[in-house]
Structures are given as C-alpha cells and as structure tokens.
Amino acid sequence: MRVLHVCTEIYPLLKTGGLADVAAALPAAQVRSGCDARVLVPGFPALRAGILDQQPVAELGPAFGGQSVRLLRGTLPDSGVVAYVIDAPDLYDRPGNPYADADNHAYPDNFQRFALLGWIAARLAEGLDPAWQPQVVHAHDWHAGLAPAYLKAAEQASGRRLAASVQTIHNLAYQGNFPSHVFGYLGLPAHFFDINGVEFHGQVSFLKAGLFFADKITTVSPTYAREIQDSEQGCGLDGLLRTRAHDLAGILNGVDDAVWNPATDPLIASHYDVREAGGKGAAKPAGKLACKTALQQEAGLAIQDAAPLFVVVSRLTEQKGLHLVLAALPLIVQRGGQIMLLGSGDAALETAFKAAAAAHPQSVAVRIGYDEQLAHRLIAAGDVILVPSRFEPCGLTQLYGLKYGTLPLVRRVGGLADTVIDASLENLGEELATGFVFDSFDDGGIGAALRRAFALYQRDADWKVVQQCGMQQQFGWEAAAAHYLALYRDITT
Ligand code: ADP
C-alpha cells in the first residue's frame, strides 16, 4: 500500500504540538508493517536542514505566490522514511514558528503557503514523481485540508480515479478559515465554493474542504470522534461530521517507545521499568525516586519524597484548562505537595504561574518555554501529571505519564477519557485503576480529584498497584498502524 502523509511538522525536526509526534511515528510504524508510507512537507528551514539527502524530483516554476517552486525527495533521519519536501523559499523560508511571525500573528499568505501543500499532494497522485504515486493521500489537520479537494478536482477534470483520501483531525478547533476572496487564488473549480465544498459560513475553510472531500475522516481517539458530532465540541462542523458519521473513525495515537521509555530514556537522571514497580509489597522504583530528587534539586524545590510532586507539560492555552491548576495551587501547597510546570503560550497564565513560583519557591516551580529535554525530566520525576483539558482530541502527555509511572490526573474528555481509568474504590479493588479522572470543568472538579490523589499517596501499597497498572498499558503504534491500514484497504479496493 502506497500512502502519502501530508503534514507540516515532524518530530524531532520541527514540533509545535502532538501532530509532530504522530507525523514521525505513524509513517515509520506503517513502513515497519510493510506499507510504503511517505511524507510530504513544506520546506520550512528546520525541515530543509534536517531531511537527509534531498534530490530534485520536479521543477514547478511559480505557484501560489512562490517565485520558483521545486519538489525534492529525501529521507527522514532515524526512521529512514522517504520525505518529499516542497522547496519554495518565498513561502517557507521564515525563521521561528511555521505558522506565525515573531509577534505570533498568522502569516497573511498562509492560504497560499498551505494551498501549495495540498496542491502538490494531488500532483503527486497525478504522477509528478514518475517513480512513485500514492494510492492513498492522507491529509493531517487544516494545513493539508485542500489535498482532498485538489485531488477531487483533478479526478473530475481527468475523469479517472487517482487516489483515495483520508483527512485526520488532530484538533478541530484549528480550521484554517480565510475570507472568501482567497478562493480566487486557489485554482479550484468555481463550483467548489459551495456549502457542498470548501465554503463555510461565507469563508473558505481548509479543514472543511478536507472533511467534505476526503473518502474517510479520522480523529485521534474514539471519544473525540463522538464528541465532535455534538454542537458543544463540533466547532460549527458537527453537522457535516454527523452526515459523514459512517466515514468517521477514532483511532487512538500511540507513543514512540524509542523516545518515551523510562528503561532507556537518555534524557532522565536514572532508568527504571515496570518490573521495579512491583505492585503492593514492592518498594517504589528506585530510579524514579532518583529522577524526582534530581528534579527537585534542579528546580530549587524542597528535596522530599514525602511531598507528592505534580507536573504539567503543556501549551498554555484555554483548551488545556490550566486556570483550574492555578486555582488549585493553594490546595496543593497547603497539603504539602509540590508542583512544577513547563509550558508557554498565554501571557496572563505565564505571569500568574511565575508569580505563584515566586511566592512559594520551595513548592512551586515554573519554566516558561518549550524544552523537549526538560519535558522528559519532569515526566520521569513527577508523581502525578495534570491534564485538566476543556477538550482533548487524544493527548499525549497522559500516555507518557502512564509509561513513566506518573499517575495522570485528567478530565473525562476526548482521548483522556479513553486512556485513563479512575482510582475509584471499585477500580482499585479490581486493580484496574491507572490515574484520577474528574468530570466537572471547575475548581470543585479538579479539587476533589486532587484530594483523592493526596489520599492515595498516603496509601503506599495502593499507589504502587495503580502505578504498576499504568506502566503495563500498551500504547505502541502497531495497533494504530494496523487500524489505518484496514481503513485504507476499505477505500482502495
Ligand atoms: P497538543 O498537541 O494539543 O499540544 P498533546 O498532548 O497531543 O497536546 O501533545 C503535546 C506534545 O507537546 C507532547 O509531546 C508534549 O510533551 C509536548 N509539549 C507541550 N508543551 C511543551 C513544552 N513546553 N516543552 C516541551 N514539550 C512540550
């Protein structure tokens, strides 16, 4: 099966969120399972610099505002997955964030930058690389949303089937909506600007285009697949998603074991594994305790194992519910707990967390920024990882927490609901619990879950059972890779 993943970020070369982890791990897992999976990415500086052995495939001349557009083919470091790179310096050769300028304003020509991505995907299905044509074009998020539309347009023009298409929603809140006048620059047939097409409340919507034209739609957890069909989480697209419900699947993301594994992780102070988390009678994993002590030292927190250490690794956005964590800080501090947050984003949240750290230096530590290595140290060191999201398509950090014996405390929403089992009495009794789950998106909801976490921390034997159960969960990419392959087969035969 020849599959082209169309995406904008790939870990470790370029990452602003979980999409990068998926775009690195899923094609690699598919290749391991015998699929000929490749990726297509814009030539952002970090991708141009990091993709190996780039050779020209085609010269395309001027397109979408780029003066000279070329398609190159290289390979991803580590996995060796084949990567097509669009070399269009006028469009992509900009420092920093791939989507926005230094003041965090979206680039005004984003519609051209990402239309080019979708257009090249369709051109590859038409035979732009004579040596390789995809049977499936798999578009990720709004940036790739026009790929299924260009593919449909090319099929209508040629009267032949070129490739099947899949649109994956990693986050429905980001839709790529632009004023209607941009439609004239896209080179799509005029009748595509329609409610049955790319039009969305008078605008052009890249994500809606993908959702409308793709043969199949997926999102990254079964619960989120249900939630986005309701108005509360549907971001205005729930009606379309309901009409396409039979083509919509929720496939849970995996975790790349080569990157996130406490037994081998080169970024943490000491290694440990599930065998050390021996359940009821056993001691806590010694390696994990060493990681906690090292982080407390590094962060200037009081060095105490008795203090449960709560950690947060997150974008600081409204979605992530971190105002609930701010509200819960007094409870954590009063009960003798500690908390360390790593994140960046919303300026007001950054300021508030920094103020809390200044007020309680022994129990609250905050690092503003994006730091992959520190993220590993935090997740290995923590006793509990907090993910109190308002909505969460899949969520990765709670999965890392499970693997690292760091009990997730999460809101029952999206992929968090699918991956964490609450430490209720009955789940504790049956040794099923893996963390703490709360429903109500308010101070009372998170507060009650935190009090349960403190109570369990006092019950050492029970804590270790929950920790061991979490560490035994399997979140490999193989299951997801097989699920996607079955879906591709459905639409190519
Ligand atoms: P989202 O994609 O909505 O940001 P996910 O939980 O799916 O949320 O993925 C977030 C990814 O980004 C995880 O791999 C997490 O470790 C990482 N991450 C988030 N913020 C930071 C940060 N400040 N420093 C390092 N890694 C971060």
The tens-digit pLDDT sequence of the chain (493 residues) is 999 999 999 999 999 988 999 999 999 999 999 999 999 999 999 999 999 999 999 999 999 999 999 999 999 998 999 999 999 999 999 998 999 999 889 999 999 999 999 999 999 999 999 999 999 999 999 999 999 999 999 999 999 999 999 999 999 999 999 999 999 999 999 999 999 999 999 999 999 999 999 999 999 999 999 999 999 999 999 999 999 999 999 999 999 998 999 999 999 999 999 777 655 666 678 899 999 999 999 999 999 999 999 999 999 999 999 999 999 999 999 999 999 999 999 999 999 999 999 999 999 999 999 999 999 999 999 999 999 999 999 999 999 999 999 999 999 999 999 999 999 999 999 999 999 999 999 999 999 999 999 999 999 999 999 999 999 999 999 999 999 999 999 999 7
Q: What Å distances lie between residue 31 and 249, 251, 252, CA to CA? A: 22, 18, 18
Boundaries of every domain in the chain? 2-254+477-492, 274-471
**Which pTM does this prediction carry?**
0.95
Pocket test for ligand 1, best of 350, 367, 370, 418 (most atoms within 8 A of CB): 370
**Residues contacting ligand 1 via CB (< 6 Å):** 17-18, 21, 313-315, 342-344, 370-372, 375, 394-397
- In CATH terms, the fold of domain 274-471 is Rossmann fold (3.40.50)
Tell me the residue type at 107.
Y
Choose among 51, 102, 58: nearest CA to 79. 51
Say if 2-254+477-492 and 274-471 have the same CATH topology: yes
- In CATH terms, the fold of domain 2-254+477-492 is Rossmann fold (3.40.50)
Residues 6 or more apart in contact with residue 273 via CB below 8 angstroms:
262, 263, 285, 471
Choose among 264, 256, 259, 272: nearest CA to 464. 272
Yes or no: say if 439 and 414 are a contact pair by the CB < 8 Å rule.
no
d(C-alpha 121, C-alpha 492), whole Å? 17
Residues 6 or more apart in contact with residue 426 via CB below 8 angstroms:
none
d(C-alpha 328, C-alpha 72), whole Å? 50
3-state secondary structure of 68: strand
Residues 6 or more apart in contact with residue 230 via CB below 8 angstroms:
238
Yes or no: say if 117 and 147 are a contact pair by the CB < 8 Å rule.
yes
Q: CB-side exposure of 145: number of CA atoms within 13 Å?
A: 28
d(C-alpha 321, C-alpha 287), whole Å? 31
d(C-alpha 214, C-alpha 194), whole Å? 16
Q: What separation in Å is there between the alpha carbon of 402 and the centre of ligand 1?
A: 15
Q: Please name every residue paired with 219 in a beta bridge, in sequence order, or none if there are none.
A: 169, 250
Yes or no: say if 375 and 404 are a contact pair by the CB < 8 Å rule.
no
Tell me the residue type at 108.
P
SS (H, E, C) 421-439: CECCHHHHHCCCCCEEEEC
d(C-alpha 314, C-alpha 296), whole Å? 19
**Ligand 1 atom with minimal separation from the 392 CA:** 3
Residue 72 token pair: 């190159």
Q: Whose CA is nearest to atom 24 of ligand 1?
A: 370
Q: Whose CA is nearest to atom 20 of ligand 1?
A: 314
What beta strand segments (E) does 206-337 contain? 216-219, 248-250, 309-316
d(C-alpha 276, C-alpha 287), whole Å? 9
Q: What separation in Å is there between the alpha carbon of 387 and the centre of ligand 1?
A: 11
Q: Please name every residue paired with 410 in a beta bridge, in sequence order, or none if there are none.
A: 387, 437
Yes or no: say if 341 and 374 are a contact pair by the CB < 8 Å rule.
no
